Structure 1
Amino acid sequence: MTNTEQKLKERVKELTCLYEVTSIIVNSNYDQLEASLEAIAYCLKRGWQYSDVAEAYLSVGEYQVGTENFHKDMVALTAEVKLFNNSEGYITVGYPRPKFSDNDFLEEERTLLNNISLAVGSLMERKQIRDAEEETKRQMERADRFHIMGEITAGIAHELNTPLANILGFAELLMESTDDQQAKRDLQKIRDNAIFSREIVKKLMFFTCEMPQEMELIELNGIVDNVLRLLGPSLKDKKLKVVKSDTRGPVLIQANSVQLTQVFFNLIMNAAYYSPEKGTITIDMDDSERETVIQIADQGQGIAPSQADRVFEPFYTTKPLGEGTGLGLSVVHGIVRSYKGNIIHRPNRPKGTIFVLTFPKV
């Protein structure tokens, strides 16, 4: 075989490799990218001059794939993979030492590897854009769902207020007008249940931010300390330890003290409920010129991925029947959002959940 024929053969191999890689990228499933990247690695192996001993390896973001016999001690040709002009990985093609050296790589192979790294980077950029679009879509769907739920629950709350007031009023009148003790006990049950129902309506109004807000400058440390005193018996029953960060000075936000108490009461009570005995609840506060961030962490089992998007929905609860109405976190969400704040949750390590509240400085 002449030198010209050999060069032509190598060019055909390189063009075939580039064509195969391009085809893989065009037909890639974004949810199965590891399989596509592995296929690209084997295309690279076949495209090099000494394909019988060449090995390839790709490391891009969370993906690390390579051909079967690749190892880091090989003499290698490497190209950087960039996403949005930032280095996010690399592609390497290597030969075994000591039989091969850097001189065994062709200049055309270096160009080929650079072109493939650009194509892989473009693929990963499109995946990131797709993921960002899907996340934005999910957030918009959640916002729409909360808006619809807010309108529904506000209507329910307003419709229930009048009949509940009538039930409560007439029950109290009947209690005053009768001397029958059994009747009084029955009326007391009616009254108690009406009051319980009224509290649920009040929570619904908290969720939809329909409660009147008397705003003032509130010191958060005092609110949290007061809530911890209220929950003292529950914390003591489970031998829970509360670790509260020390702040250099007062942490102030513009809010309503009743609503803010409701926020911390629900979050700390939830943390206590899901914490194991002798567990630790951590409350951290970070106050800056732009925002105030509060983190409440427990050491429970955490929130399952299937439940992550539903925790702030009204009437959704993972507690056993009779132990929760599913309104606590809905109330918290509504109040925080009414202050133009934000609340999210994320996993604690090694286990548990962290709720993060962010309040902007007004």
Structure 2
Amino acid sequence: MHTAEQKLKERIKELTCLYEVTSLIVNSDYEQIEEVLKAIANCLQVAWQFDEETYVELETPTISIKTEERGEAYVFLKSPIKVFNEPKGVIRVGYPTPKYTLEDFLVEEQQLLDNVCLEVGNLLERKEIKDNQESIRRQVEQADRLRILGEITAGIAHELNTPLANILGFAELLRERVENDSLAVKDLDKIITNTIFSREVVKKLMFFACEMPEERSTINIVPVIEDAIDLLRATLAKNEISCQLDISSENIQLRTDKIQLTQVLFNLIVNAIYFSPPQSKIKVKVTDKKDKVVMVISDEGSGIPKDKENSVFEPFFTTKPVGEGSGLGLSVVHGIIQSHKGRISHAPNKPTGTIFTIELPKIK
């Protein structure tokens, strides 16, 4: 039996704990949630009647906190942490066994634990709301930047198209006139090659700005894939890289834009070639499923750095040296896949390299 003085002492400890927990939560910094939860666990530890032997565990989906252990096995009081009425964690307060049993806990201690879990759940709810608001704000800012960028890009692309067409046309005419001058022909070939490259960049800019019309039809995509790889055979051989094509069927029907599909394959395979070492292999696997077509392109290159994984599909982002990449390739690929209502994702290859997986739905 507890004396009146002991009962009063326990109530004071419990009220002090609840006050401290409430103060911690009211003044919490959402960027330091783990520190707040550690402090709450410590408050609980000293609130129990046998505080020198009390052990506390606090767990959420992302955080696990344990106070200093006071034994090898424990008997626990526990209460769930609910976030938006869904269990998202638990707090356990225990005594070492066999010295203590459940009968050694006070009814008021369970009530205190339930109240603390309610407060922690409210804290996690507010943090989740704040995180969602921040995410929405970033999405709105990104959409606005892309809208402005799209308008600027469309204007630049239209301005560049005419002079590039003139340069290419006059360079080809001039080449015919000086075909007996090998040095002049060589220089003009460089002009023509670089102009064609510049036009391709402009095409990517125009597609990014949604200025390129689509022409979709239901086709067998196997020849398209084979032709795309064949066109890159010289580049593959030059870099001493092999490309293996694995298809589940010789006839895979898909409603798509042939040029855009070729563009997707070109961008992904050219990227794989760039980052792959000599004597390595690029694999292209195409699987025809009931409701979709899955394409997997894997390489044995250097892989995507961890800190860059979330940026690879952003416009103008590139890990290539200055002058070697426009940063539009994967952004264009992402745009094409999205316009086909599909999905594209990437993952590390084992033991090294990157795997890009494309899922294109069979839309009639």
TM-score (norm 2): 0.84
Q: Partner of 1:210: helix, strand, or coil? A: coil
* Superposed displacement of residue 216, structure 1: 0.3
Give the CA deviation at 1:238: 5.0
Asked whether the 8 Å contact 1:56–1:70 carries over to 2, the reply is no
Instruction: Note closer, same or farther for the CA distance 1:81–1:4 as it changes in structure 2 (3 Å cut).
Output: same
Letter in 2 for 1:204: L
Which runs of 5 or more structure 2 residues have no equivalent in the other structure?
A: none
Q: Is the 8 A contact 1:282 1:298 kept in 2?
A: no
Alignment length, in residue pairs?
360
Partner of 1:335: 336
Uncovered stretches (5+) of structure 1, i.e. residues with no partner: none
Q: Which residue of 2 aligns with 1:100?
A: 100
Aligned equivalent of 1:261 = 262
Give the deviation of 1:286 after TM superposition. 7.0
Mean Cα deviation higher: 139-148 or 175-184 = 175-184
Cα gap change, 1:242 to 1:87, in 2 (>3 Å): farther
2:163 corresponds to: 163
Once the two structures are overlaid, the 10-residue window that deviates more, 274-283 or 192-201, is 274-283
Q: Which has the higher mean CA deviation after the structures are superposed, 291-300 or 156-165? A: 291-300
TM-score (norm 1): 0.85
Alignment of 1:235-274 (within 5 A): 237=239, 242=244, 244=246, 246=248, 251-274=252-275
Q: 1:185 to 1:152 in 2, by over 3 A?
A: same
Aligned to 1:311: 312
SS in 1 for 2:319: coil
Matched, 1:210 2:232: no
Which residue in 2 is equivalent to 1:197? 198
What are the residue-to-residue correspondences of 1:1-362 with 2, within 5 Å? 3-69=3-69, 73-178=73-178, 181=181, 182-232=183-233, 237=239, 242=244, 244=246, 246=248, 251-275=252-276, 278=280, 281=283, 283=285, 285=287, 287=289, 289=291, 294-347=295-348, 352-360=353-361, 361=363
Q: Offset at 1:13?
A: 0.7
Separation in 2, partners of 1:210, 1:46: 67
Deviations 1:85-120 (A, max 9, x none): 333321111112222111110001011111111222
Structure 1 position 213, deviation (Å): 1.9
Instruction: List, as ranges, runs of 4+ consecutive aligned residues in structure 1 with deviation greater than 6 Å.
Output: none
Contact kept, 8 Å, 1:341 with 1:359, in 2: the verdict is yes
- 1:52 is paired with a residue of what secondary structure? helix
* 1:23–1:298 CA distance, 2 compared to 1 (3 A): farther
Which shifted more, 126-135 or 171-180? Answer: 171-180
**Aligned equivalents of 2:193 and 2:324: distance in 1?**
17
Does the residue aligned with 2:159 lie in a helix, a strand or coil? Answer: helix
How far apart are 1:38 and its partner, in Å?
Answer: 1.0
Structure-2 separation of matches of 1:294 and 1:137: 34
8 Å CA contact retained: 2:72, 2:96: no
User: Do the aligned partners of 2:241 and 2:282 also contact (CA within 8 Å) in 1?
Assistant: no
- Inter-partner Cα distance in structure 1 for 2:328 and 2:168: 23
Contact 2:248 2:288 in 1 (8 A): no
SS in 1 for 2:114: helix
Note the aligned Cα RMSD (angstroms): 3.2
Letter in 1 for 2:134: E
Whole-angstrom CA distance in 2 between matches of 1:109 and 1:159: 74
Report Cα offsets for 1:290-348 as digits up to 9, x if no partner: x6554444454433354345423444321234543323213213323333444444555
The letter of the residue matching 1:26 is: V
Paired residue type of 1:335:
I
